[in-house]
Amino acid sequence: MGRLRLQSSINAIEEEPEECEATSSNKSALGCMINSEIGAVLAVMRRNVRWGGRYVSGDDQLEHTLIQSLKTLRRQIFSWQHEWQSVNPSLYLQPFLDVIRSDETGAPITGVALSSIYKILTLDVLDVNTVNVDDAMHLVVDAVTCCRFEVTDPASEEVVLTKILQVLLACMKSKASVMLSNQHVCTIVNTCFRVVHQAGSKGELLQRIARHTMHELVRCIFLHLPDVDNTEQSLVKGGSSVKNENAGLDTDYNFSGKSENGSGASEFDGQLSSGVYNSASSGLIGGMMDESIPRNDNGKDAVPYDLHLMTEPYGVPCMVEIFHFLCSLLNVVEHTGMGLRANSLTFDEDVPLFALGLINSAIELGGPAIRHHPRLLSLIQDELFRNLMQFGLSMSPLILSMVCSIVLNLYQHLRTELKLQLEAFFSCVILRLSQSRFGASYQQQEVAMEALVDFCRQKTFMVEMYANLDCDITCGNVFEELANLLSKSAFPVNCPLSSMHILALDGLIAVIQGMAERISNGSVGFELTPVNLQEYTPFWMVKCENYGDPEHWVPFVRRRKYIKRRLMIGADHFNRDPKKGLEFLQGTYLLPEKLDPQSVACFFRYTAGLDKNLVGDFLGNHDEFCVQVLNEFAGTFDFQDMNLDTALRLFLETFRLPGESQKIQRVLEAFSGRYYEQSPLILANRDAALLLSYSLIMLNTDQHNVQVKKKMTEEDFIRNNRHINGGNDLPRDFLSELYYSICKNEIRTTPEQGAGFAEMTPSRWIDLMHKSRKTSPYIVSDSRAYLDHDMFAIMSGPTIAAISVVFDHAEYEDVYQTCIDGFLAVAKISACHHLEDVLDDLVVSLCKFTTLLNPSSVEEPVLAFGDDAKARMATVTVFTIANRYGDFIRTGWRNILDCILRLHKLGLLPARVASDAADDSEMSSDPGSHGKPLTNSLSSAHMQSIGTPRRSSGLMGRFSQLLSLDTEEPRSQPTEQQLAAHQRTLQTIQKCHIDSIFTESKFLHADSLLQLARALIWAAGRPQKGSTSPEDEDTAVFCLELLIAITLNNRDRIGLLWQGVYEHIANIVQSTVVACALVEKAVFGLLRICQRLLPYKENLADELLRSLQLVLKLDARVADQYCEQITQEVSRLVKANATHIRSPMGWRTIASLLSITARHPDASESGFEALTFIMADGAHLSPANFVLCADAARQFAESRVGQTDRSIQSVDLMAGSVSCLVRWAQDAREGTAEAEAAKLCQDIGEMWLRLVQGLRKVCLDQREEVRNHALLSLQMCLTGVDEIHLPLGLWPQCFEMVIFTMLDDLAEIAQGNPQTQKEYRNIEGTLVLALKLLTKVFLHLLNELSQLSSFCKLWRNVIGRMEKYMKLKVKRGEKLLELIPELLKNTLLVMKTKGVLVPTSTLGGDNVWEQTWLHVNKIFPSLQSEVFPNHDSEPLHSSPVLGESASDQTE
Rounded Cα distance between 1032 and 1035, Å, is 5
Rounded Cα distance between 1335 and 1358, Å, is 8
Q: Is 306 left (phi over 0), alpha (psi -120 to 50) or beta?
A: beta
- CB contact set of 683 (below 8 Å; sequence gap of 6+): 676, 689, 692, 725, 730
Counting Cα atoms < 13 Å in the Cβ hemisphere of 1057 gives 32
Rounded Cα distance between 630 and 963, Å, is 87
Rounded Cα distance between 249 and 305, Å, is 7
**Residue in 536, 609, 606, 638 with CA at minimum distance from that of residue 297:** 638
Q: Is 665 left (phi over 0), alpha (psi -120 to 50) or beta?
A: alpha
H or E stretch covering 1131: helix 1116-1137
Does 660 participate in catalysis according to the annotation?
A: yes
- CB contact set of 694 (below 8 Å; sequence gap of 6+): 664, 668
Radius of gyration of the chain (CA): 56
DSSP characters over 770-839: HHHHHSPPPPPP-SS-SSHHHHHHHHHHHHHHHHHHHHHH--SHHHHHHHHHHHHHHHHHHHHTT-HHHH
Rounded Cα distance between 799 and 845, Å, is 12
Helices (H), 78-151: 89-101, 107-122, 133-145
Catalytic residue among 260, 291, 551, 660: 660
Neighbouring CB atoms inside 10 A of 976's CB total 7
SS3 call for 125: coil
Helices (H), 548-678: 550-576, 578-587, 597-606, 612-620, 624-635, 644-653, 661-678
Q: Tell me the one-letter amino acid at 864.
A: A
- Whether the Cβ atoms of residue 265 and residue 278 lie closer than 8 Å to each other: yes
**Residue in 891, 906, 895, 902 with CA at minimum distance from that of residue 852:** 902
DSSP characters over 316-366: HHHHHHHHHHHHHHHHHHHHTT--TTT-TTTS-THHHHHHHHHHHHHHHHH
Residue-wise over 501-534: b if at least 16 C-beta within 10 A, else e? bbbbbbbbbbbbbbbbebbeeebbeeebeeeeee
Torsion over CA: 1231, 1233, 1234, 1236 (sign):
negative
Rounded Cα distance between 545 and 557, Å, is 12
SS3 call for 725: strand
Neighbouring CB atoms inside 10 A of 1233's CB total 9
Rounded Cα distance between 453 and 502, Å, is 11
- Whether the Cβ atoms of residue 1171 and residue 1154 lie closer than 8 Å to each other: yes
Q: Tell me the one-letter amino acid at 1333.
A: L
Q: List the catalytic residues.
A: 660
